[in-house]
Each structure stands twice: as structure tokens, then as C-alpha cells.
């Protein structure tokens, strides 16, 4: 009887120690509840609007910023026959397991590129013995600020939706790609979403591109993924496969 009790207690301790995702969901629910309470208690403000300043800002945006973007977009599309990935689509699938905490993740992503602009949609799911935590992330607009053959720097913004909690956060992301020896491409990614960043993510990957055709490229990658969900850390070795259509 004593042995059964000891074994049961040991297994229960392991389950509690490894139930990170359950704790993430609990903190996410508290976060949602506190935000709802703050919204209900806050008072609305309405004041006079200086329409002259609004019109001035609109004119400035149209003439300067929009004009600059148009020139940059035209320049990138002019060289799209050489830099063929500037007008392309990417499909990526990743996965990883951390045997130390008995956690794993899977991630699927699709991105469309058109010169200076990109848009990206992905699904991210983290699991352990207590269940899964899934987000649908849409980088509505990404800017390829550096878009050269060997270097690419992407800056984007969008939304991250937690499917279990049914709450949505603003999301910021940046990516840096560097091509080495033509077939190898290391890259770094950073993401942060929500007020006080309920989720932060960092990954470092090395991509190998052995298979190329005229308009198609298949690549494999491996590296490291870190996520911090509501103050709880997840570390994963990661592998994946990529399909480029150009």
C-alpha cells in the first residue's frame, strides 16, 4: 500500500510539474478577465478635433510617405526577374520536441511576397500533458525594408488570436535573413504580441536549399525556438520543410 501511495504521489508531482500549458491557459484567462474589467471601468473621452491638422497630416502622408513607398515598390518590381523571390509564395511547416519537459510544438505558415510588401498567415500550437495552446497569427502587412539577393530584413505588424481564450492581440514581428554560399540561409525571427507582451518568441534557424527548379525551390531547416507565454518559458529544438513558388 505504501509503495502504491508513493508511486501515485510521484506521478502526480510529475504531471503538475509538466502542466505548463494548463498554467498558460489559466494566466491567459486572468489576463482576459482583467482587460475586460479595465475596459468596463474606463470612461470615454470626446473632444474637439482639429480638422486642419488632420488634413495636413493626410496630405503629408499621401505626398511623402506614400510616394516613397511607391518609388521603393517600383524599384523592387523592376528587378523581380533577377530577384525572382520578390514576387513569390512561401509554405513552411515546423515541429519540435523538448523531451526534458515533455512538450512539443507544430507550426504552419504561408506568406505572399510582392516587392516591398508581404503578408503572412500562420498557426502555432504548443502542447504538453495538460493540453494545447493555439494561436492564429496574421502579419497583415510586412515591409521588406532590405530586399537584396543575400540580405533580407522584414518588419511587420498584425494580429495574434488565441483560439482557446478567444482573445486577440496586436503583434509585431521582425526577421533577418542572410544568404551564405548560395544554398545556406541562416535567419533570426522575433515576435511580440499584446499589452505587456503576453507572448514573446525568438527563433534562430539555418535553412539548406538543395532542390531548385525554374519556379520552385524546396528547402530544409533546423534550429532553436523560444516562446514565453504569459511568463512561462518554452524551449524547443526545431526542424522544418519549406516550399517556395516563384
Whole-number Cα distances in Å, 181 to 4, 189, 214:
59, 21, 19
Query: For the chain, where are the E strands, in sequence order?
Result: 87-98, 103-114, 117-128, 131-147, 151-162, 167-178, 184-193, 199-212, 216-229, 232-245
What mean pLDDT is reported for the chain?
83
Domain ranges of the chain: 84-245
- C-alpha cell recorded at residue 150: 543575400
Whole-number Cα distances in Å, 50 to 53, 203, 221:
6, 45, 53
Q: Convert the pLDDT of each residue in 21-58 to its tens digit.
A: 988 888 888 888 777 665 554 444 344 445 555 665 56
Examine the pLDDT at 2 and tell me if it is beyond 70: no
Cα of 207 vs its chain's centroid, Å:
17
Q: Convert the pLDDT of each residue in 207-234 to its tens digit.
A: 998 888 878 999 999 999 999 999 999 9
Q: CATH for 84-245?
A: 2.40.160
Q: Convert the pLDDT of each residue in 111-163 to its tens digit.
A: 999 999 999 999 999 999 889 999 999 999 999 998 887 899 999 999 999 99
Share of the chain above pLDDT 90, in %: 51
* Cα-only R_g, the chain: 22
Nearest of 130, 141, 175 to residue 21 by alpha carbon:
130
What is the DSSP secondary-structure string of 53-119?
Answer: HHHHHHHHIIIIIHHHHHHHHHHHHHTTTTSGGGEEEEEEEEEEEETTTTEEEEEEEEEEEETTEEE
- Specify the DSSP class assigned to residue 164: T
Torsion (CA) 30, 36, 37, 41 in degrees, nearest 10? 160
In this structure, are residues 193 and 160 in contact, taking their beta carbons and an 8 Å threshold? yes
Cα of 211 vs its chain's centroid, Å:
26
Note the pLDDT of residue 50: 53
Q: Convert the pLDDT of each residue in 50-93 to its tens digit.
A: 555 566 556 665 666 777 778 878 878 887 777 777 889 999 99
Amino acid at each position: 500500500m505504501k509503495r502504491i501511495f508513493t508511486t501515485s504521489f510521484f506521478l502526480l508531482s510529475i504531471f503538475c510539474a509538466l502542466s505548463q500549458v494548463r498554467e498558460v491557459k489559466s494566466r491567459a484567462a486572468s489576463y482576459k478577465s482583467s482587460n475586460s474589467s479595465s475596459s468596463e471601468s474606463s470612461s470615454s473621452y470626446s473632444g474637439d478635433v482639429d480638422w486642419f491638422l488632420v488634413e495636413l497630416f493626410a496630405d503629408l502622408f499621401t505626398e511623402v510617405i506614400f510616394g516613397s513607398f511607391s518609388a521603393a515598390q517600383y524599384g523592387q518590381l523592376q528587378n523581380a526577374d533577377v530577384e525572382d523571390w520578390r514576387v513569390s509564395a512561401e509554405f513552411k511547416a515546423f515541429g519540435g520536441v523538448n523531451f526534458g519537459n515533455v512538450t512539443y510544438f507544430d507550426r504552419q505558415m504561408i506568406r505572399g511576397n510582392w516587392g516591398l510588401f508581404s503578408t503572412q498567415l500562420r498557426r502555432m500550437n504548443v502542447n504538453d500533458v495538460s493540453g494545447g495552446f493555439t494561436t492564429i497569427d496574421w502579419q497583415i502587412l510586412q515591409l521588406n525594408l532590405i530586399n537584396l539577393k543575400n540580405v533580407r530584413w522584414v518588419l511587420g505588424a498584425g494580429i495574434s488570436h488565441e483560439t482557446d481564450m478567444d482573445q486577440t492581440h496586436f503583434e509585431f514581428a521582425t526577421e533577418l535573413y542572410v544568404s551564405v554560399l548560395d544554398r545556406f540561409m541562416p535567419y533570426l525571427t522575433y515576435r511580440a504580441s499584446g499589452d505587456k507582451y503576453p507572448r514573446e518568441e525568438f527563433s534562430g534557424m539555418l535553412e539548406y536549399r538543395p532542390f531548385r527548379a525554374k519556379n520552385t525551390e524546396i528547402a530544409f531547416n533546423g534550429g532553436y525556438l523560444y516562446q514565453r507565454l504569459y511568463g512561462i518559458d518554452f524551449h524547443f529544438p526545431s526542424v522544418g520543410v519549406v516550399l517556395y513558388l516563384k
